Amino acid sequence: MTTLIIGAHGHVGQHIVEQLAATGETVYGGIRKPEQAEAITKLGGQVRDVNLMGTVEDLLPAMKDVDTVIFSAGSGGSTGDDMTINIDLDGAIKSMIATEKAGIKRFIIVSAMGTDDRSFWDKSGIRPYYVAKYYADQWLRHRTALDYTIVRPGILTNDAPTGKITTDSAASENKKISRADVAATVVAIVQHPQPKQIIEMVNGNDPIADVIK
């Protein structure tokens, strides 16, 4: 299997590159800056140029000979709301359209827990982020024919991975999950396809592989 990770240089993206490459998969890390290339190759990935500010057609070369596309890109907390719309929403949707144009069936997107709860958006303090995530997810579910999996982690941390999650986040007192465990969940989904699924999770007591299987 060959996988393209859009947003490969992000915090979660780098974990995905490293963990997926370690399984023997061919991993293409989509980056937008040449200086990001070294980090991707050190993690075991091969570099492909991905400019989410470009057109759908601009994205197609990066999708050549790819079986699965993972969208883990984000504008980051240091940018304004305009870039959140450009990357987290428009970039995600252009990636979905390009994936279909390239004839690829599988698309995995890293979203966020609480995305479907409008009452939570204002409480979060980052309403535009959740708006972008919501409508990107909606487009994927209702405007594409892709075999999608939407991964919705809780509050992201840089804690050491536990290898364990729970998808019963409503019942869990914990609302956090390490970025490494988010990546491990995505890798497990690549290995055990979960078409047309939404998986909301936080760190818990169940081995990731068992949950996904």
Pairwise CA distance, residues 132 & 53, whole Å:
15
Pairwise CA distance, residues 211 & 213, whole Å:
6
What angle do helix axes 127-142 and 92-101 make, rounded to 10 degrees? 20
- Residue indicated by tokens 């994205």: 59
Pairwise CA distance, residues 163 & 100, whole Å:
32
Which has the closest alpha carbon to 49: 34, 70, 65? 34
Pairwise CA distance, residues 77 & 103, whole Å:
33
Catalytic residue among 129, 130, 134, 148: 129
Which has the closest alpha carbon to 128: 94, 170, 201, 79? 79
Is 129 among the catalytic positions?
yes
Q: What tokens appear for 11 in the block?
A: 């915090």
Query: In Å, how far from its chain's centre is CA 119?
Result: 24
Sequence-ordered list of residues with C-beta below 8 angstroms from that of 136, at least 6 positions apart, any chain: 88, 89, 92, 93, 109, 111
Give the active site residues: 129
